[in-house]
Amino acid sequence: MINELLPSESAMYNALVQRDSRSEGVFFVGVKTTGIFCRPTCSARKPRRENVEFFQRASDALHAGYRPCKRCSPLDHGHAPPQWVRQLHARLDADPTARLADSDLRALGVMPTRARAYFKQHYGMTFHAYARARRLGLALREIRNGKSPDRVGATTGYESLSGFRDAFARVFGQPVGRGCEINVLLADWIDTPLGAMLAIASDDGLCLLEYVDRRGIEKQITTLRRRVNATVVPGSNAHLSRIREELKAYFDGRSLAFRTPIVAPGSDFQQLVWNELRRIKPGETRTYAQLAKAVGRPGAHRAVGRANGDNRIALVIPCHRIIASDGALGGYGGKVWRKQWLLNHEASVTSSPAPSRTRSRTASVRSA
């Protein structure tokens, strides 16, 4: 049944055939024969009328079991950074030591107030604070590699050694000379078909992977920082690069395996639950009762549920594979519509006969 807020089915199908740009944002179309959903202007071959159905929101299509089209990326709107943000990232990637003033932003066609508001909302800090954190993260890495603080300060964009030392102490809470003693976690932004994710890693492995709109993500980061006594700064390392590649393979359906080393500090009970979660194969689910029994605590459904909710490494520790005893999806920090999509996606991939399909390995969670 078509939502009364949508145009008629014939009008939407005509707009789809004509790729009418005026229909962008008005509706999405699900293609029954392929199981994907698209924007009305998608350049893919247009399906027959009897093979499509229409949705007001992308989430409605996901709830109906459709996966997003790779060609027209119907979920990008509101999730992927806009072009001007990607431009700023590229500028910092090219020269992490750059000190971009407001005049530099204007020269790039970006209003400073816009950059400040966007980075504050999505990264928890202004653009200038973000760029400064990247510079200091780079400085700390070089100090750990044996370079002198004086030389590092001069090569990471600071005009004076005193300015570098003051900035370093404010961010890390330690003087430059004690840089080798500071524990730092690197944070990176990863776009996925279901929205942007924040990934945080140490030198030993991945510590956090969550959707940026997850309720309580700030508390998760605070808990992580407290447990490992570390400062979080923007940056990347081998573990973050690896999880980025594995996430792409996962969402593309090429592989459901995650082999990035993880560091998941928690209580002994949480460790038991998280290890057991990793034993659940893609395409399968368990109930809270089954999980409680598997960890030797039958009847401790609520405690298991809390440990499930305390998981900071989504997908890799697959808490989305836990459902209620009556088959309902239950809660999910990353939002229930994502949980439904993930379960449908994994069921689809694991049911495929293609030899390239692989399943997630079972591995113990490393505690810190």
The beta-strand segments (E) located in the chain are 28-31, 36-38, 52-55, 67-68, 184-192, 195-201, 206-211, 231-234, 286-287, 322-323
Residue type, 289: A
Residue type, 39: R
CA nearest to 81, candidates 92, 71, 89: 89
Count Cβ atoms below 10 Å from residue 238 Cβ, excluding itself: 12
Asked if residues 315 and 351 have their Cβ atoms less than 8 Å apart, the reply is no
Asked if residues 235 and 134 have their Cβ atoms less than 8 Å apart, the reply is yes
For 118, residues 6+ apart whose C-beta sits below 8 A from its C-beta are 85, 127
Catalytic residue among 38, 42, 69, 319: 319
Six token digits for residue 363: 């591995």
CA distance linking residue 251 with residue 193, whole number of Å = 7
Asked if residues 172 and 140 have their Cβ atoms less than 8 Å apart, the reply is yes
Specify the 3-state DSSP secondary structure of 66. Answer: coil
Six token digits for residue 181: 């003693």
Question: Can you state the angle between helices 112-123 and 83-94, rounded to 10 degrees?
Answer: 90
- 38 assigned to active site: no
Q: What is the DSSP string of 85-104?
A: HHHHHHHHHH-TT----HHH
CA distance linking residue 138 with residue 154, whole number of Å = 12
For 267, residues 6+ apart whose C-beta sits below 8 A from its C-beta are none
Q: What positions carry a catalytic annotation?
A: 319
